[in-house]
C-alpha cells in the first residue's frame, strides 16, 4: 500500500548520536530540509515525546468507552 505524503524523514547514525533529516518539498514554493543532529540523550527525549504525542492522538481518535477495561 503506497502513501502520498508531502514530507520525508531519514535517520542516520552519527559519531555522537543520530542525524534526522526532515524534507518538505514545498514550503512557500521552495523545498526545505531541516537537519537535527542529536546526541543520544536528546534522541531518546525526542523519541519519548513523539511516542507520548502519538499515544495522545490515538486516545483522542479512539476514545475509551465508559466501563471498558475498568477492573
Summarised one tens digit per residue, pLDDT across range 48-61 is 999 999 888 888 88
Q: Quote the domain boundaries for residue 48.
A: 8-61
H or E segment at 8?
strand 8-14
Q: Is residue 66 part of a domain?
A: no
Q: What is the pLDDT, as a whole number, of residue 68? A: 64
Q: Is residue 22 part of a domain?
A: yes
> Which residue would you say has higher pLDDT here, 56 or 11?
11
Q: What angle (nearest 5°) sits at the alpha carbon of residue 29, between those of residues 49 and 57?
A: 25
Q: Is residue 70 part of a domain?
A: no
Residues 20, 8 contacting (CB under 8 angstroms): no
Amino acid at each position: 500500500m503506497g502513501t502520498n505524503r508531502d514530507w520525508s524523514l531519514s535517520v542516520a547514525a552519527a559519531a555522537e548520536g543520530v542525524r534526522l533529516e526532515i524534507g518538505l518539498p514545498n514550503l512557500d514554493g521552495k523545498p526545505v530540509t531541516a537537519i537535527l543532529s542529536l546526541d543520544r540523550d536528546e534522541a531518546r527525549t525526542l523519541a519519548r515525546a513523539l511516542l507520548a504525542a502519538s499515544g495522545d492522538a490515538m486516545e483522542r481518535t479512539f476514545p475509551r468507552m465508559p466501563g471498558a477495561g475498568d477492573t
